[in-house]
A and B are shown apart, each in its own frame.
Chain A
Amino acid sequence: MDSFVPFLISIITGAIGCAVLAYAFVKAGRSALLGGVIGALAGAAAPLIFMLPLNYCTFETERTGLDVAFGILLIAIALVAVILPLRWISLRILGHQTVIARQVTPGAFKGRWTPWLLLAPTLVILILFLYYPSLDTFRLSTLLARLGARRSVFVCVDNFTRLAQDASYLNVIGITFFISIAIVVIGLVLSLAIANLAYLPIKGAAIYRTLLIWPYAISPAVAGIIFLLLFNPTGGLINYALDNLFGVKIGWLNDPTAAPWAVIIASIWKSMGYNILFYIAGLQNVPKDLIEAAAIDGANAWQRFRRIVIPLLSPITFFLIITNMTYAFFDTFATIDYLTGGGPVNATTTMMYNIYEVGIVNNDLGKGAAQSILLFVMVIGLTVLQFRTTGERVTYGA
């Protein structure tokens, strides 16, 4: 690598930061010079987030074009992550708005150290078992390392760029999204249909609710075991029924096109109770007078449901999409492990299952960590989407 590369990068990012903040300051009626200076400094420093630990290795001369592109992507991510919050904070400070709403604390106890003592157990555990492993995952993703081996080799971003060239990994991503989207869409539609009946104030409503919601307490592993019986080629009840009714037999566990559906059906069965619970809560909060007004205006039942109930439920639907996606990404692991073991021919190997196979079974920690980070980025994307879209409207607390 030529020694001017770090300077070149920082000059470019500094210029971008300078332009963005100067423009923002001018629009806010403030000094362009001040904004430009702040933006230039922050922009020049931003690439260091990734490039200091990586030592600018993606721009070494023997690297491929893909590595360079990945390095530029990292720098762009760092730049956005630094400049956008900085722009927001500096504009609020200039506008003499408080950055965070000052909260009055009526009835507060006195004591300088007491709050820290109360928080200490939570913070210590979060730092040791969540924050430290998160950072370590990033470090591991740049290494060729094995558990139990003393030495590890720095491999720059190879663990990431090789994923992009690996057709079988793209297949894993495809399977993950296929299974997740099917679980979310089918699961939510069925749950809403059932909740739409169960929220009615009919006789025995409490019993119906209990009988509908209990699978929440069943584990993903047990769901896998029970459906292993139901889907089994010998003695499985589902094929017995299909054979007698329609004369078809489906290779649920050994046909690569059918196996994902076995996982999807078992997962929907297990997670539906949770969805029904939330939809019942949501439907009970739909104002009755709104529905009655629409009925008097001549809207039929379907129109009322389509035009009033579904839009009013959208915050809950969105919350459930996120929780079901997270369920499909992570919790299906146990179902898959019992039901199909990731097979046949990797047809049910999701990203999480692949992390386990690569990182743990094959003991390639670096590759496993890189795949974890990819999944991490997806989860962060989903969570940010959830916060932005639903904000405070979703209340699942008492």
Chain B
Amino acid sequence: MAEQTAPPESTGTPGARSAGPPGPAAADRPDKPDAAVVRDALGVGIAVGLSGFAFGVTSAGSGLSLLQTCVLSLLVFTGASQFALVGALAAGGNPYTAAAGAFFLGVRNAFYGLRLSQLLAFPRAVRPFAAHWVIDETTAVTLPQPTRRAARIGFTVTGLTLYVLWNLTTLVGALGAEALGDTDAWGLDAASPAVFLALLAPMLKSTVERVTAGLAVVLALTLLPVLPAGVPVLLSALAAPVVLFLSGRTKPGATPQDPEDTPATRRGKTARQEKEERHS
């Protein structure tokens, strides 16, 4: 689920790569029928929801119990963080560095929530419940919707479909892994890096992203032999501020193609913020 579609930053084609149906891309019609929104939402929810199977298998193969695996999908419900956590634990990382890596990956959901809250305008009492579904896919479907009604339908249908399927397929995957025995013999230890790569690929939109990714790889592999498990990945995150700082130095204010500046996202910004961005 989470992160298994292109994140909404990818210019109006949410879920283009992984989730298949390009539906939400063509969503900027003012009178979008409810059925079309539901179709978009179901397409993303079903395609990505099924991949909970990969998580269930990976988690069980990493030595987590059935209960632990299912609790992660039920209560964390953001895929990259879940994969990162079980990977770090399997590598022998201590629980704190493992959780820190998972948490840092989950931080981006805060920024999705920020953009969604203006669009959805849920009552405050509903927000603690809606928050659990604030992930890549729901954001990707919701942001391009032309009206509040369409946004709410898109968010709810995507969230519900994904939540139900992701948890069911997690359970099936974990049970399947136990039946398989040695998951490495089946190549299932490659599922997790393949998932990360599939999540990463749509994010590599410009030089800034590619340099960041390259630097992070170099840092991770250089530090891996010398630091305790889990720590190298955390330190690799420093590639982000470093590259951001350097790119700011070389091209003052030059935003590497601002992919978020689509009509759909612009709606949520105030005129003042837009002005600031133009002048920065």
A, B in one complex: no
A-to-B contact residues, CB < 8 Å: none
